[in-house]
A and B are shown apart, each in its own frame.
Chain A
Amino acid sequence: IQLTQSPSFLSAFVGDRVTITCRASQGIDTFLAWYHQKPGKAPRLLIYAASTLQSGVPSRFSGSGSGTEFTLTINTLQPDDFGTYYCQQLANYPYGFGQGTKLEIK
């Protein structure tokens, strides 16, 4: 299963609403997770099962979708949200990640 994220690069202002899309090459139900990684740091789990917010993650993050198309939405973008976002499919071996979306804060 291949995951394709779009866009690959995104630049937005603090306070903006941002949407990242992850498309799977075949249906994966809701077996999808999202991670956020800042430069030089380990990734952080944001969302799993496509829409379940991980404990401690701010409510401005939300996920939706099923089958082959998924979205990660960040409402009211904060300065701390810069970095790279990855989706990951959990439906089939070898449980790969998307190529990443790099988010820059203007």
Chain B
Amino acid sequence: EVHLVESGGGLVQPGGSLRLSCAASGFNFKTYAMNWVRQAPGKGLEWVSVISSTGDRTAYPDSVKGRFTISRDNSKDTLYLQMNGLRAEDTAVYYCAKDLYASGSLIFDDWGQGILVSVSP
């Protein structure tokens, strides 16, 4: 059974930084692309980033490009999201999501439970 567990969330001031981690188990982590998806309180879903199975290709929407960096350690079955220059509008529950394919289809077939990031003075 696929298991994804996020950690590293919390309260941070505007302009601050935070690093999220996602520990994966139950599948061959290094053969799948991985993603981060977020959901602001009471709002819909927003894709945040994708990384290919080997980690050589990444993509971001304009809303986080240049501020967020996705990475992975296939030897530790762990996904990361480094978030810098945080803004109030980044406040959301962040989900780690497994991709259906290695290359990054952005079809999210398994999700973590989510972790809250709050950006406030």
A-B interface contact total, Cβ < 8 Å: 47
Interface of A is mostly: loop
Given contacts A42-B112, A42-B113, A93-B61, contact A33 B44 (CB under 8 A): no
A54 touches B109 (CB 8 A): yes
Given contacts A42-B111, A44-B111, A93-B59, contact A98 B44 (CB under 8 A): yes
A-chain residues with CB within 8 Å of residue B114 when the two chains form the complex: 42
Q: Does A77 have its Cβ within 8 Å of any Cβ on chain B?
A: no
Q: Does A79 have its Cβ within 8 Å of any Cβ on chain B?
A: no
Per-position binary interface string of chain B over residues 81-121, scored 1 when its CB falls under 8 Å from any chain A CB and 0 otherwise: 00000000000000100001000011111011110000000
Q: Does B11 have its Cβ within 8 Å of any Cβ on chain A?
A: no
Q: Which residue of B lies closest to A54 (CB)?
A: B109
A86 touches B44 (CB 8 A): yes
Q: Which residue of A lies closest to B106 (CB)?
A: A95
B-chain residues with CB within 8 Å of residue A63 when the two chains form the complex: none
A-chain residues with CB within 8 Å of residue B100 when the two chains form the complex: 45, 48
Q: Does A18 have its Cβ within 8 Å of any Cβ on chain B?
A: no
Bound CA–CA A9/B54 (angstroms): 41
B-chain residues with CB within 8 Å of residue A99 when the two chains form the complex: 44
A-chain residues with CB within 8 Å of residue B32 when the two chains form the complex: none
Bound CA–CA A42/B47 (angstroms): 14
